[in-house]
């Protein structure tokens, strides 16, 4: 498997590299975010505008590392997450003030209002319905669940509007969510370097948390996979695109089963 690991100048990226090797047996290529374009030239920048002359993607998976700051500081990832057609106006960070208790606050309505009116090419009518059905105000979407629906289209297929499946860690998840209009807000009482427990896939699992910010409202089509006990989103994916993220840090030594989390994500992204 060819993995591109984008480093947002973080201090956990090499841990992630080692974890990816342990989980896949493949050594990822690590590239700083400010040189991302060197590794992604030729990627289709707009879905549906298939350019037969463009070379096939050189990667099977893009992993977006954790990092400092907010998703707005990292516009480079936009073209890699489904192109302009799926992008929606972002709720401004300053006005996203929000219900700290979870992702189902009023801001969720705001995100829903920005649902794309023009579904990306290649997506069926059912897809559009599913997008609406999984908006964050739907309780069934926010209930902790480990069920993962298969991608609408196989990754790397001509109909998939995402050039390469993406796994985002911490900031990486926030970037994916913000791309679809989701909101990233300060987490009251930031949690750094502390373990937490999740009920996931039928087990109680310990995970390491490092975050000052959290997903206060889900983006269009983003589906919550897990909350912690306080209702903070800990894992999410796009309903039909191969985009997935963890808010916690599988690469930390405080997460005992990091390899399991990576393999689980690969499976969910249709790569295993």
Partner 1 sequence: MRCTLSACVDADAFASFALSCARQGADLLLCHPDLDHANVGRAYAGHGDSGAGDALHAEAAASGQHLDPVGATGATGATGAPHIHTAMPPGWTVWPDGAGQGPCCLVGIGPRQELCLGDPASGTAPGSAHPHRDSSPDHEPGPHTDAALAAFLGLPTPAGTHTAAPTRDTSPLPWQPARADHDIALGFLAYTYGLPRFGIRSAKPRVLPHALLRRYHAVARWNPATGALTLSVHPNAPPDLAARCARLLADVPPPVLTTPGGHAAFTAPTGCAVFTPPVGCAAFTPLAGCAALPPSLDRAGYTAGVREVLCRIRAGDTYQCNLSTRFGLHAPGLDPAALSLHLWRTRPAPFHGLFRIGGRHVVSASPERFLRVDAPGGGQARVLSQPIKGTLAFGPGTPHPAWHPGLPGLLAATPKERAELSMIVDLVRNDISADCAHGSVAVARHCATFRVGGVASGLVQMYSDVTGTLRPDRTCLDLLLSAFPGGSVTGCPKRRTLAIIEAGEPHSREVYCGSLLAIADARTMDASIAIRTGWHDAATGRFEHCAGSGIVVDSDPESEYEETWAKAANFREVCA
Give the interface segment with partner 1, choosing from 9-17, 37-45, 156-164, 218-226 (CB under 8 A).
9-17
Dihedral angle, C-alpha 34, 160, 48, 78, nearest 10 °: -20
Active site annotation includes 152: no
Active site annotation includes 251: yes
Shortest Å, Cβ 16 to partner 1: 9
Give the interface segment with partner 1, choosing from 47-55, 132-140, 227-235, 244-252 (CB under 8 A).
244-252
Q: Does 169 help bind partner 1 (rule: CB under 8 A)?
A: no
User: Binding residue for partner 1 (CB under 8 A) from 192, 202, 204, 229?
Assistant: 192
Q: Applying CB under 8 A, what is the total number of residues that bind partner 1?
A: 36
In this structure, the strands spanning 3-7 and 61-64 are parallel
3-state secondary structure of 76: helix
State which residue, 23 or 141, has the beta carbon closest to partner 1: 23
Element (DSSP H or E) covering residue 237: strand 233-238
List 211, 227, 249, 264, catalytic entry = 249
Active site annotation includes 159: no
Q: Which residue, 218, 226, 149, is CA-closest to 209? A: 226
Cβ-contact 170, 211 below 8 angstroms: yes
Q: Does 196 help bind partner 1 (rule: CB under 8 A)?
A: no
Under DSSP, the state recorded for 87 is -
Q: Does 74 help bind partner 1 (rule: CB under 8 A)?
A: no
Cβ-contact 98, 185 below 8 angstroms: yes
Tokens of 263: 């393999």
Element (DSSP H or E) covering residue 209: strand 203-217
Q: Does 189 help bind partner 1 (rule: CB under 8 A)?
A: yes
Cβ-contact 112, 220 below 8 angstroms: yes
Q: Does 10 help bind partner 1 (rule: CB under 8 A)?
A: yes
Q: Which residues are marked as active site? A: 170, 249, 251
Residues forming the site for partner 1 (CB under 8 A): 9-15, 17-18, 21-22, 27, 66-70, 186, 189-190, 192-195, 206, 208, 210-213, 249, 251-254, 256
């Amino acid at each position: 498997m060819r993995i591109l690991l984008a480093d947002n100048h973080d201090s956990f990226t090499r841990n992630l590299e080692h974890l990816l090797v342990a989980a896949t047996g493949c050594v990822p290529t690590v590239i700083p975010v400010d040189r991302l374009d060197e590794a992604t030239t030729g990627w289709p920048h707009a879905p549906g505008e298939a350019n037969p002359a463009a070379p096939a993607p050189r990667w099977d998976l893009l992993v977006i590392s954790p990092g400092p700051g907010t998703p707005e500081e990292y516009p480079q990832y936009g073209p890699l997450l489904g192109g302009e057609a799926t992008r929606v106006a972002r709720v401004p960070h300053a006005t996203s003030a929000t219900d700290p208790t979870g992702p189902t606050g009023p801001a969720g309505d705001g995100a829903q209002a920005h649902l794309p009116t023009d579904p990306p090419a290649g997506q069926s009518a059912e897809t559009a319905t599913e997008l609406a059905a999984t908006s964050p105000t739907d309780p069934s979407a926010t209930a902790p669940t480990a069920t993962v629906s298969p991608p609408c289209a196989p990754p790397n297929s001509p109909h998939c509007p995402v050039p390469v499946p993406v796994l985002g860690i911490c900031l990486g998840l926030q970037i994916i969510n913000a791309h679809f209009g989701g909101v990233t807000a300060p987490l009251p009482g930031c949690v750094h370097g502390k373990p937490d427990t999740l009920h996931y896939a039928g087990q109680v699992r310990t995970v390491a948390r490092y975050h000052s910010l959290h997903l206060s409202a889900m983006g269009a089509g983003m589906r919550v996979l897990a909350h912690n006990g306080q209702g903070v989103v800990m894992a999410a994916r796009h309903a039909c695109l191969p985009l997935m993220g963890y808010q916690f840090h599988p690469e930390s030594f405080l997460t005992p089963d990091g390899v399991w989390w990576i393999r689980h994500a690969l499976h969910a992204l249709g790569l295993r």
